[in-house]
Amino acid sequence: MPPIIETLTFNADGLIPAIAQQHDTGDVLMMAWMNAEAVAETLATGQVCYYSRSRQKLWRKGETSGQVQKLVELRIDCDADTLLLLVDQTGAACHTGRRNCFYTAVRGGELTEIATPLISPETLYGHKHG
């Protein structure tokens, strides 16, 4: 493990939240979780790897969909318990095929969809589920 990982504060499950932001536009793409191994792999390879809480294993972003995230810079917050990943996102960060996951806004007290898919989930994942 790189010594940098020893400076991080992981939660009781051994995880730390990681916010992915498109490095040039500032678009906040998604938030997911990493364990120490995912942080180490991300730093070593330059390709973002999370930890999937539902599948309980490393989640190499884009390994199924092709929508990979290249790491531009990893930043750590003042409490060392949250990561900000500046990334270069290929295509859609969201499993719905949208560029980012935050496509629902509260406007006028109502949930409002503010972005449409760039690509269909069937195209992203169809060959795995077909």
Residues of this chain that bind a second copy (CB under 8 A) = 2, 4, 7, 17, 19, 21, 25-28, 30-31, 43, 73-80, 82, 84, 94-96, 98, 101-107, 109-111, 114
Q: Please report how close the Cβ of residue 125 comes to a second copy at its closest, in angstroms.
A: 14
* Nearest residue (CB) to a second copy, 84 versus 119: 84
DSSP state of 67: -
Cβ proximity to a second copy, 78 vs 128, nearer residue: 78
User: Exposure pattern of 96-106 as b/e (b: 16+ CB <10 Å)?
Assistant: bbbbbbbeeee
Q: What DSSP character marks residue 68?
A: -
Select 63 or 77, whichever has its Cβ closest to a second copy: 77
CB of 81 to a second copy, least distance (A): 9
- Give me the least distance between CB of 66 and a second copy, in Å please: 18
CB closer to a second copy, 6 vs 129: 6
For the four alpha carbons of 22, 25, 26 and 30, in that order, the dihedral sign comes to negative
Phi, psi of 121 (to 5 degrees): -60, -30
What dihedral angle (degrees, nearest 10) is formed by the CA atoms of 11, 80, 31, 93? -130
Three-class SS state of 54: coil
Compute the least distance from the CB of residue 33 to a second copy, in Å. Answer: 10
